A and B are shown apart, each in its own frame.
Chain A
Amino acid sequence: MTPNLPPVMTEATFVLVLVLLLVAPLALAGVALINTGLGRSRSAAQSLLGNLAIVAVTAIAFALVGATIAGTAGGAGHTFHLAGRPWNWLGAGPLFLRGLAAAPAQAQLGLLFEFLAVALAALIPWGSGADRVRLTAGCAVAAVMAAIVFPLLAHWVWDGGWLAQLGVTFSLGSGFQDPAGAAVVHVLGGLSALVVVWIAGPRKGKFPQGGFATAMPGHNAVYILFGCLLALAGWLAFNVAGAVLWMHAPLAALPVTAVNTLLSASGAVAATFAVTRIRFGKPDASLCANGWLAGLVASSATAGIVTPVQGLMIGLIAGVLTPLLVEVLELAVSIDDPSGAIAVHGAGGLWGLIAAGALAPQAGQLVAQLVGIAALLGLALPLLYLLFWLVNRVVPLRVDPDGERIGMDLHELGGGAYPEFVIHRDDSYR
């Protein structure tokens, strides 16, 4: 089958997308700060070093293996035929980024986008494993994500794979639409977080026998909330760059994409503020941060597609669902997810993908989105479990009990993040 070639990019568009992608790492910085702030003070240095190490590991793993599997839009791919239709399931990019400098502008920028996206995806489970997942294990999980799972999904969704081609092969709208990574980055990150939490187990003392879950609040609300502001800048860049790269949006449509991103986050944080105030009498800072992020995550799927009012409504719904889901996962399902990533990135991303399908003008778009979600839940989640289970056999995810007791900083790094401050004793260890 002839690859579906993207339109030729003008010089002005190339420069714009390049500049946006140079700003996009602010999203990584924001998520890193949020991950660290939501953990405990005695694990802060290990957490932030882990974020840095994961960005490095994903870059190397994606360059060595992942980029070949992902391929490029309009590039070669491995295809089989079923029911008379082609199924492009695996990319066939050059090994070790050979010939990158001579590749078309779209392919080069697409690859840079994917380098940043895979780092963001791999930071998400690291936040969920805070205070008990070892640094080497976190890096191993990130390497597996960057080398195998992310490239597979990126090829299917962005680089001309079977999900992107659903519109051509099965007349389902424009095919699966995910312009800024709601599926490839956030749902993947949320599912990875779920698997990491399943395998690593809860923090010691989190779920006492016969009692309620112990509250273990994040140690630094300033990190968390400033991280949200940094994330906004990065998300604006991701969403606008993604709209140009993967939806070929015209320059005139880009300001609306940025406005939708802001409105979605604003609606979400306003809704979470209201929900937590009604439920607890006062707004909850960390849940409001979760709501803000969930609005941004939902906008990753919808910002380039919907109107500003629709963007606001999508954010409002994400902001209502997120704090409730965080509570359900912790209290009813016994899942210890310090960063709330499963609700924020997993559920927020799924909500954005469904909303993008429901609000799209093309017939069959919603079914295309649902097929994409089916692929994420039905293939990606079991694959992630299998791979992380294997990783856990080789590099155990969880630190030993003594390491958890004294804190990850002392245990893994030999020194704390705040050496001049007295760290209070933790009552859960009495």
Chain B
Amino acid sequence: MKFAGLLVMPAGFFLAIAALVLFPASNAAARGAFVLCGLAVEALGLVVAVRGHMEAQGKSRP
């Protein structure tokens, strides 16, 4: 699960980059919103990775 979360995070980065490429500078609101979506995907990946860590931690506690 930790690896799945870490693999999701680059997808969020490419979403943020796509925002810059797809939206012109004049459409700042859409561009900003798209970048925020990219960050949200990264946050999701981080949460999944952290939960994976917690599960592994729970199993390995003495």
In the docked arrangement, what's the CA distance between A207 and B57, Å?
9
Looking across the interface, which residue of chain B has its beta carbon closest to that of A198? B53
Query: Which chain B residues border A229 with CB–CB below 8 Å?
Result: none
A333 interface residue (CB < 8 Å to B):
yes
A156 to chain B, nearest CB (A): 12
User: How many CB-defined contacts (below 8 Å) exist between A and B?
Assistant: 84
Looking across the interface, which residue of chain B has its beta carbon closest to that of A83? B21
Determine if A381 and B9 form an interchain contact, defined as CB atoms under 8 angstroms apart. Answer: yes
Kindly identify, within residues 10 to 35 of chain B, every residue whose CB is under 8 Å from any CB belonging to chain A: 10-14, 16-17, 20-21, 25, 28, 31-32, 35
Determine if A374 and B13 form an interchain contact, defined as CB atoms under 8 angstroms apart. Answer: yes
A335 interface residue (CB < 8 Å to B):
yes
Determine if B62 and A367 form an interchain contact, defined as CB atoms under 8 angstroms apart. Answer: no
Determine if B10 and A208 form an interchain contact, defined as CB atoms under 8 angstroms apart. Answer: no
Query: Which chain A residues border B46 with CB–CB below 8 Å?
Result: 377, 381
Kindly identify, within residues 39 to 62 of chain B, every residue whose CB is under 8 Å from any CB belonging to chain A: 39, 42-43, 46, 50, 53-54, 57-58, 60-62
Query: Which chain A residues border B25 with CB–CB below 8 Å?
Result: 170-172, 364
Looking across the interface, which residue of chain A has its beta carbon closest to that of B55? A334
Given contacts A198-B2, A374-B38, A374-B39, contact A334 B28 (CB under 8 A): no
A6 interface residue (CB < 8 Å to B):
no
Determine if B20 and A374 form an interchain contact, defined as CB atoms under 8 angstroms apart. Answer: no
Determine if A377 and B13 form an interchain contact, defined as CB atoms under 8 angstroms apart. Answer: yes
Determine if B13 and A375 form an interchain contact, defined as CB atoms under 8 angstroms apart. Answer: yes
User: Looking at chain A, what size class is its interface with the partner chain?
Assistant: 20 to 34
Determine if A371 and B17 form an interchain contact, defined as CB atoms under 8 angstroms apart. Answer: yes
Given contacts A205-B62, A370-B16, A370-B39, contact A364 B28 (CB under 8 A): yes
Query: Which chain B residues border A349 with CB–CB below 8 Å?
Result: none
Determine if B9 and A334 form an interchain contact, defined as CB atoms under 8 angstroms apart. Answer: no
Which of A83, A85, A208, A373 touches B62 (beta carbons < 8 Å)? A208
In the docked arrangement, what's the CA distance between A323 and B48, Å?
24
B41 to chain A, nearest CB (A): 8
Query: Which chain B residues border A370 with CB–CB below 8 Å?
Result: 16, 32, 35-36, 39
A329 to chain B, nearest CB (A): 9
Query: Which chain B residues border A207 with CB–CB below 8 Å?
Result: 57, 61
Given contacts A207-B57, A208-B61, A333-B54, contact A381 B6 (CB under 8 A): yes
Kindly identify, within residues 12 to 64 of chain A, every residue whose CB is under 8 Å from any CB belonging to chain B: none
Question: Which residues does A use to contact B, with CB under 8 Å?
Answer: 82-83, 85, 166, 170-172, 198, 201-202, 204-205, 207-209, 333-335, 363-364, 366-367, 370-371, 373-375, 377-379, 381-382, 385
Instruction: Give the 4 A-B CB pairs with smallest separation, nearest first.
Output: A378-B13, A171-B25, A374-B16, A83-B21
Beyond A364-B28, A385-B6, 12 extra complex contacts between A and B, CB < 8 Å: A170-B20, A170-B25, A205-B62, A208-B61, A209-B62, A363-B28, A374-B12, A374-B13, A374-B35, A374-B42, A377-B9, A378-B13
